[in-house]
Every structure is written in C-alpha cells, then in structure tokens.
C-alpha cells in the first residue's frame, strides 16, 4: 500500500518537476569572449566569436547541461601576423576548430529573477583535450532574458599549448578569459 501511494505521488509530482527546467539560449551576435595575455612589452587583448550556446538548468537543482562553443579561428588581437601565428602554432585551428565549455553543475543559489553569483563546474575542451574547471559566474535573469558574466584564467601552457614567446618578447603562461553571454530563457 505504501509503495502504491509513493508511486501515485511520484507520478503526480513528476510534471511539476520537469516544468522547472529552463534553457538559456545564447545570442551569439550579442555575446563575446575576450582574452588578455600579459607580455614583457604589452598587454595583448583579443576577442573570439561564439558559434553556439545553450545551457539547460533547473533553479531548484544543481545540475546543468549544454555547451558554449567558440570558433577557434575567430580570434582577433589587432595584429594580423600575431593572429596567424596563434591560429597555426598555438590553437592549431586546422585540426581543432572549436573551443568549448560544457557545464555540469553549479554551487550557490540561482535566484528566479535578478542577480545571482554561482560557481559553475564543467569541462573546458581546448586542443581536443578536456579539462575539468570551476568558474565563477554572475547571472542576471529578468523575465525571458538572461546574461552571464564569467572570468577565469586558462593555464594554456600547462594544458599543452605553446607559449608564443620569442627573443626578447616574453608572454606569460596563463591567459585571462572574460565571457559575456546574452540570451533568452526558453521553458
């Protein structure tokens, strides 16, 4: 009898549990990825274009799914020869055309509207190699729109990428990444 009651309660409450899932669909044209690399002579700033982005979440649960995909060959630093070297020698874009982040879970409280600060854990894939990371994320939810701001550091040399240093021009082994996502919430 108890099993029957539990089964009935599970069936009755299941639709409301599934109804809480929402999807953050990223507007790739309104979103951006910026990088900053310190060198001995300058701070190199660049931007990358997003190919796609969609994150499924439930404000009442800590699991996430989806991905944010960046086109590796879209990187621009304002110097054509530096960009060409970055594509060929650092990012190997002919072999690895995308860079991605697949969120798996978050810690913190995601408010149903307004601002939230959470820690998102997931897999960052660079040169085809997955790396588990946790990044801070500032979220703003308002009606059917959302923004997410993320700042983190990629230890690119430690992760197997080449350092672009040469002669007297030396680059650090880490690059700062700022991601600003804008999009809509679909239920």
- What is the phi-psi region of residue 13: left when phi exceeds 0, alpha when psi lies from -120 to 50, beta otherwise? alpha
Q: How many CA atoms lie within 13 A of 149 on its CB side?
A: 5
How confident is residue 5, by pLDDT bands cut at 50, 70 and 90? Answer: very low
**CA–CA gap between residue 84 and residue 150 (Å, rounded):** 27
**CA–CA gap between residue 88 and residue 94 (Å, rounded):** 7
Please give the pLDDT value at position 19. 47
Q: What is the pLDDT of residues 113-160, one digit of tens each?
A: 999 999 999 999 999 999 999 999 999 999 899 999 999 999 999 999
- Residue closest to 133 by CA, chosen among 148, 117, 163, 154: 154
SS3 state of residue 58 = coil
- Residue closest to 86 by CA, chosen among 144, 141, 33, 35: 35
Percent of the chain with pLDDT over 70: 90
pLDDT average, residue stretch 10-15:
43
| Average pLDDT for the chain | 89
**CA–CA gap between residue 87 and residue 133 (Å, rounded):** 24
Q: What is the pLDDT of residues 75-118, one digit of tens each?
A: 999 999 999 999 999 999 999 999 999 999 999 998 889 999 99
Q: In sequence order, what are the residues at sequence separation of 6 or more whose Cβ sits closer than 8 angstroms to the Cβ of residue 33?
A: 47, 48, 49, 50, 70, 177, 178, 179, 180
Please give the pLDDT value at position 6. 39
Answer with the residue of higher pLDDT: 17 or 70.
70
Please give the pLDDT value at position 183. 97
How confident is residue 10, by pLDDT bands cut at 50, 70 and 90? Answer: very low
* Per-residue pLDDT at 12 exceeds 50: no
User: Where exactly are the structural domains of the chain?
Assistant: 20-186
- Residue closest to 144 by CA, chosen among 180, 98, 101, 113: 113
User: Domain spanning 20-186 has what CATH number?
Assistant: 2.40.128.110
């Amino acid at each position: 009898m108890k099993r029957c009651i539990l089964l009935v309660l599970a069936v009755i409450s299941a639709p409301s549990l599934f109804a809480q899932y929402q999807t953050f669909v990223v507007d790739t044209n309104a979103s951006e990825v910026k990088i900053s690399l310190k060198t001995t002579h300058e701070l190199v700033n660049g931007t990358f274009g997003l190919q796609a982005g969609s994150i499924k979440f439930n404000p009442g649960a800590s699991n996430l799914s989806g991905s944010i995909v960046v086109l590796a060959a879209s990187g621009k630093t304002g110097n054509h020869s530096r960009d060409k070297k970055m594509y060929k020698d650092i990012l190997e874009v002919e072999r690895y055309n995308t860079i991605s982040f697949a969120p798996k879970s978050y810690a913190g409280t995601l408010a149903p509207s307004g601002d939230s600060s959470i820690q998102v854990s997931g897999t960052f894939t660079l040169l085809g190699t997955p790396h588990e990371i946790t990044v801070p994320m500032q979220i703003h939810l308002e009606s059917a729109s959302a923004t997410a701001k993320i700042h983190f550091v990629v230890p690119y040399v430690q992760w197997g990428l080449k350092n672009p240093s040469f002669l007297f021009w030396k680059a650090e082994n880490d690059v700062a990444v700022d991601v600003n996502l804008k999009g809509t919430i679909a239920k």
